[in-house]
Amino acid sequence: MVNGPRRIVITGMGVVSPLGGAIEQVWDRLDQGVSGIVPMEMLPVDHLPTRVAGEARDFQGEIGDFGPLEKTLSRQIKKSLRMMCREIYMGTAAAQLALSGTGFYELGHNPDRVGVVFGCDYLLTNPDEYRAGILKCLDEAGEFHFEQWAEQGMPKVEPLWLLKYLPNMPASHIAIFNDLRGASNSLTLREASSNAAIAEAVTTLQRGRADIMLAGATGTRLHQLRTLHVLLQEQIAPGEDPPGESCRPFDLNRQGMVVGEGAGALVLETLESAQARGAEVFGEVLSSASSAAVDAQGVADYRTAIRNVLQKTIERAGLKPSDVGHVNAHGLGTSRCDQEEAQAIADVFGPQGVPVVAMKAFHGNLGAGSGVVEAIGSLLALRHGKLFGIPSYRTPDPECPVTVNQASGADPGASFINVNVTPQGQAAAVLVRRFDG
């Protein structure tokens, strides 16, 4: 993607995360080095191999979490809450916060020229949804009889059950609530979803299919079933250290990722649209890239995938590696992924060649929602003119040849690359610069 004649800028930001739900609250915690990783409360920890999580505790899924709303819109969202699982709650709330913070309603817009691209993890049903139906199919000995499910069990399942767990529903709700009739799409690419959604929204704007796009993503690794899947498949930090030190991206003593939950959203529009509306501009998206890489056995090749997207975003933006102010890395905190990501960054920028931050040290892995939340962190760094640090990083790893920014106050530069990668080796990145007119 090349940023052609239509320049694309960011005019709104919304977030639901372990760092809070207000943009300046998120920045204050990043700037002060205060982690949102806490002792796990959302799941029983007695039989789990971890004790900590990035829980969005400020978010209760109530109407007040959706920001300032006009009365009719407030009633509409209230009626729809019963058709949302927690991930959809979070995504929709982040979108509403982004829209309300950009003067979207006050400054006016043409609904036919506004669209939505939203990323989402595949959504797992809460087992309680099936409880009443399963009980109807048990005999006196407690044995389940599947042949009774259609007639006895299924009628006990909430009729709107499926609508609560469809990954296209965040985009659908957002578009319906706000009468956005333009281009719309939903992406399910795990951790790559956020940057892929931003990239598609920018491409849609550059093609002239819309003037304003809302791009975002929502996800979780905190769920009765999802967390079990993660524990079986990935390296997880046990949480034996103080919670805020549990996730240590690129550190020699890192022990694994921390599970988390969250969502983020950006309002993107053409510069002409933003100027016509008199909207505040937070940054300009210059380029994006996506790459998937696996070896002959189908195992993810993180180094190649990440190197590809770093190189392509720089090339497509017409920049040199030295022009990039900092990299907001995937920084999962696992042994292998961090090592390969660090080597990919060194391949492109040279050893110790660019300041690196990794926000999962503050909030854990938010799944599909991580990328937008992390992009917002870097946008805030550009806005405040200083880069936040990663306090949990203490001991350099010789196998991770990157310069991790440890303390707040460093120069964030005039631009950043935000990058994420899935366990399957799908990477996506965006390059954003400070808007100077």
Nearest-CA neighbor of 157 among 179, 126, 181, 117? 126
Which pLDDT score is estimated for 47? 87
Number of Cα atoms under 13 Å in the Cβ half of residue 377: 38
Which pLDDT score is estimated for 79? 92
Q: What is the 3-state secondary structure (H, E, C) of the chain?
A: CECCCCCEEEEEEEEEECCECCHHHHHHHHHHCCCCEEECCCCCCCCCCCCEEECCCCCCCCHHHHCCCCHHHHHHHHHHHHHCCHHHHHHHHHHHHHHHCCCHHHHCCCHHHEEEEEEECCCCCCHHHHHHHHHHCECCCCCECHHHHHHHHHHHCCCCCHHHHCCCHHHHHHHHHHCCCCCEEEECCHHHHHHHHHHHHHHHHHCCCCCEEEEEEEEECCCCCHHHHHHHHCCECCCCCCHHHCCCCCECCCCCECEEEEEEEEEEEEHHHHHHHCCCCCEEEEEEEEEECECCCCCECHHHHHHHHHHHHHHHCCCCHHHCCEEECCCCCCHHHHHHHHHHHHHHHCCCCCEEECCHHHHCECHHHHHHHHHHHHHHHHHHCCECCCCCCCCECCCCCCEECCCCCECCCCEEEEEEECCCCEEEEEEEECCCC
Which pLDDT score is estimated for 2? 41
Is there a contact between 26 and 17 (Cβ–Cβ < 8 Å)? Answer: yes
Which pLDDT tens digit goes with each residue over 156-197? Answer: 999 889 999 999 999 999 999 999 999 999 999 999 999 999
CA distance linking residue 358 with residue 109, whole number of Å: 36
Please give the backbone phi and psi of residue 170, each rounded to the nearest 5 degrees, phi first: -55, -50
Q: What is the mean pLDDT of each run of 10 residues along the chain (437 residues)?
A: 74 97 96 97 93 96 90 93 94 96 81 96 92 96 96 93 94 96 97 98 96 97 92 93 96 98 98 93 98 96 98 98 98 98 98 94 98 98 97 97 96 98 98 93
Record the pTM: 0.96
Which pLDDT score is estimated for 273? 94
Which pLDDT score is estimated for 12? 96
Is there a contact between 205 and 6 (Cβ–Cβ < 8 Å)? Answer: yes
Q: Domains in the chain, please, with CATH?
A: 8-125+163-433 (3.40.47.10), 130-159 (no CATH)
Which pLDDT score is estimated for 3? 45
CA distance linking residue 378 with residue 285, whole number of Å: 13
Which pLDDT tens digit goes with each residue over 215-254? Answer: 999 999 999 899 999 999 999 999 888 999 999 999 999 9
